[in-house]
Structure 1
């Protein structure tokens, strides 16, 4: 019986040992073998063993892909099912966790790297590049802010200038705009007013806003010219686009210069800005002359010798008044036109001239000897530019330089008039000055080559020397006050040489003597 008990006990011990061995081998079978790229794995042949998982990762560092393979312990695989250590970062980090031997031997790719080159660039930028990227937008924003402030201040100044063109008491409006007052009455009041500076600002606005536009009669670089009606009379309305506010303001300012009104300068009536909420129109209202410009008139009609002298003297009279300075408390500064040409001279009903388009004019204050002029030396129409303007030798600090340039242009206008003079049934067709020497729209360089380099002037036909005019010159009356400017040279040609030929002296003297002198 005892032996049997011992045998039973021995069997139980064997079974227990076998179970323990089985358990031990089972634990050994749960371990994973993984590839390993870290320096710690070098002594084990770049292999590692774990009870957790094998991991392979690919990251994008300094513009290059970096591959790594390691073992992860079981306790680090949290939370179960989707461990944090196995999560990828799109475009920057790709991670793969697996649970079989050597399952992390694969090379992972970052497909988004090729579609995001900015990540490559950013990774290769140094401090200077990053500073430039940050400073660039900041600089642009600062410039835009400063530009906005400048434009705002300019707008405020321009608005203030418009408001200060003239300040009057609105209670006096009835003195100008009585219900029975016609346009002719208003023009008479303007021509006989003491100041000679035009209507008060509030009256100008009232007139401008009661005008009915009739038809368009011209176009230019500034905008359009319309014929309008006001209380039964015709007026000319020059409409500037909002982009030409400076030109509109300048011309209105010049026209309202004290003592500027003259029978041979276009009569100014009103200036106003009309805003309907979506666009703004800038109006300049003046006398209407049905013949249009001297350019239009000479294209349609020839002129007699008397008519030629009348046009020439009236144009000189208007320019002389423009140039002349009137001293006193109600004085007038000297003004130079700077864009005189046949298109900027109007023909009145009595066939005399009225100088118009003063938007480019400059004023001279003799007390301070200053000229209010933009820094641009080249202004006006290239065909009519004086030699000193074309070659940029004009002295911008002396007002006489601008007057001489005006006289040169007037000489070319005289040439246009003389070509259309019908003397003995002979007259030329209308042409612009230098029509045979330069193209229809000449450049500065083309005009400088002809006028300055070759020193050519408009052609003077021989038959112009053949006609006497002493019987006609007496019919022309001209105020001697206009002789106070440089135009005395032209007027002496027309007045003092009675008994000689008008065509000879108008063209030969005005074009050859005066033009070359200036």
Structure 2
């Protein structure tokens, strides 16, 4: 055997065979699947949530946009409607916004927000009328205002609003309630008046909670109202008829100075023009105060106000309702009015011990004259005022003497003029709203427009029993 010298290389080690792949068991597949599935589901839910949120946001934005567009369109339509109505019924009526440019600093436009705050969300009701509700408002500047909210009913409400602004913005008299401003909110209309702290004459005549008015106060109120009517009938251009004189439209300030309110029914007198509908379009007013001739003829004259004033005087004398059990106060008191010996039976029991007999006779005579069935038989307000002046005690003998000696020229305070008018000694002068600057707690001088001492020429014939001028 042969021996091979040297070392022979060792044979290569056999390669390890790759280990065979072991297939995953079913159990292992089941354990790995939930994590992948949960991740996939979470991803889908996120996408779905984002999509829903975006869709909802888009829908909400679309809704808001539509609402804003509709709101703006409605406001534009309302504005156009108001302008059309105003131009249709009031062709020469100034646009509302121009009132802010007036010279009077007292007149302005109020915002709805401050009006709502001032009336405590419209909870301070102090009265209700045919054309709206009246609220007491206190503004941040400390001013006290009466806010009249016009009824939102129809075209009529807008017409009344424009009419009242047109009239009141140019009427200035110490016995007319002054307009302080206005407010417009969409379809709502507000008029701001000076606040009258003692409320209406009606409250003082018929409310048991009010202290009865004295005889002197009633006479002063009667003359205040007469002065206001005289101004409307004779010194407005064109002359105006109020057409709704009644106790609830007579307001009293802290000194019981009376002022006539509510010009929603006012009309130009026959022959005048003030961008109002014709005076004979319909019958409007308050039962008991309405002129019976006006009801029949539908023709409005200043004598219709004279009739209502006569009823108001009778109401102040008696403190009775103007209509009771379907019978008017004028009808129910005819027997007493016609009997000189029974005049005291007319009086309110609260003043039976404090009245002046001569004044009572004069006032009853005025009532009879003012409430004549035919308008031409009634007096003018000038004649009514003269009767009241002559029926009362003189304010001051020195003043009477001065008037008799020379013509009275009013100064810069706007008291007016008494030119060529002699006050008879037998007919003493009464202190009224025009003369109260001498003997009253009110220091306001008379209106520059009122000349109550002048008598109307060509006056209608006085009925029997009337005091002679």
Which TM-score applies when normalising by structure 1? 0.46
Match of 1:488 in 2: 382
Match status 1:272 vs 2:194? no
Match of 2:251 in 1: 346
Q: Secondary structure at the match of 2:199?
A: coil
Q: What is the aligned counterpart of 2:218 among 294, 308, 312? A: 308
User: How far apart, in 1, do the equivalents of 2:189 and 2:332 lie?
Assistant: 42
CA deviation map 1:436-466 (0-9, x unaligned): xxx2xx4xxx76xx97xx8974844532799
- Alignment length (residue pairs): 282
User: How far apart, in 1, do the equivalents of 2:147 and 2:305 lie?
Assistant: 26
- Per the TM alignment, residue 217 of structure 1 is displaced from its structure 2 partner at its CA by 1.3
Match status 1:288 vs 2:195? yes
User: How far apart, in 1, do the equivalents of 2:99 and 2:261 lie?
Assistant: 30
Q: Secondary structure at the match of 1:239?
A: strand
CA deviation map 1:363-421 (0-9, x unaligned): 1375779974354342111111112133x135x2xxxx5211111111111112122xx
CA deviation map 1:46-95 (0-9, x unaligned): xxxxxxxxxxxxxxxxxxxxxxxxxxxxxxxxxxxxxxxxxxxxxxxxxx
**RCO (CA 8 Å, sep 6+): is it higher in 1 or 2?**
2
Q: Which has the larger radius of gyration?
A: 1
Which 10-residue stretch deviates more, 369-378 or 258-267?
369-378
Distance 1:312 1:374, change over 3 A: closer
CA deviation map 1:478-517 (0-9, x unaligned): xxxxxxx920221122112357999xxxxxxxx98799xx
User: How far apart, in 2, do the equivalents of 1:514 and 1:274 lie?
Assistant: 55
Match status 1:384 vs 2:289? yes
- The runs of 5 or more residues in structure 1 that have no matched partner are 1-150, 177-185, 188-198, 327-331, 420-429, 473-484, 503-510
User: How far apart, in 1, do the equivalents of 2:215 and 2:159 lie?
Assistant: 39
Q: Secondary structure at the match of 1:307?
A: helix
- Per the TM alignment, residue 156 of structure 1 is displaced from its structure 2 partner at its CA by 4.3
Q: What is the aligned counterpart of 1:232 among 142, 152, 159? A: 142
User: How far apart, in 2, do the equivalents of 1:382 and 1:210 lie?
Assistant: 37
Match of 2:307 in 1: 408
| Contact in 1 for aligned 2:147/2:193 (Cα 8 Å) | yes
Q: Secondary structure at the match of 1:404?
A: helix
CA deviation map 1:215-250 (0-9, x unaligned): 111223433211111221211111123215534543
Alignment of 1:254-269 (within 5 A): 254-257=164-167, 259-269=170-180
Match of 2:126 in 1: 217
CA deviation map 1:185-219 (0-9, x unaligned): x54xxxxxxxxxxx3xxx3245x653321411122
Q: Secondary structure at the match of 1:219?
A: strand
Q: Secondary structure at the match of 1:291?
A: coil
Match of 2:421 in 1: none
User: How far apart, in 1, do the equivalents of 2:335 and 2:289 lie?
Assistant: 11
Distance 1:406 1:263, change over 3 A: same
Distance 1:255 1:266, change over 3 A: farther
User: How far apart, in 2, do the equivalents of 1:209 and 1:459 lie?
Assistant: 54
| Contact in 1 for aligned 2:144/2:195 (Cα 8 Å) | yes
| Contact in 2 for aligned 1:365/1:371 (Cα 8 Å) | no
User: How far apart, in 2, do the equivalents of 1:248 and 1:469 lie?
Assistant: 48
Q: What is the aligned counterpart of 2:95 among 140, 165, 171? A: 165
User: How far apart, in 2, do the equivalents of 1:247 and 1:513 lie?
Assistant: 45
Which TM-score applies when normalising by structure 2? 0.51
Root-mean-square deviation (CA, aligned residues, Å) is: 4.2
User: How far apart, in 2, do the equivalents of 1:272 and 1:353 lie?
Assistant: 26
User: How far apart, in 2, do the equivalents of 1:240 and 1:404 lie?
Assistant: 29
Distance 1:169 1:383, change over 3 A: closer
User: How far apart, in 2, do the equivalents of 1:345 and 1:513 lie?
Assistant: 30
Match of 1:134 in 2: none
- Per the TM alignment, residue 254 of structure 1 is displaced from its structure 2 partner at its CA by 3.7
| Contact in 2 for aligned 1:237/1:286 (Cα 8 Å) | yes
| Contact in 2 for aligned 1:336/1:363 (Cα 8 Å) | yes
User: How far apart, in 1, do the equivalents of 2:382 and 2:94 lie?
Assistant: 37
Q: Secondary structure at the match of 2:294?
A: helix
| Contact in 2 for aligned 1:333/1:365 (Cα 8 Å) | no
User: How far apart, in 2, do the equivalents of 1:365 and 1:302 lie?
Assistant: 39
- The runs of 5 or more residues in structure 2 that have no matched partner are 1-77, 347-351, 361-378, 394-425, 429-461
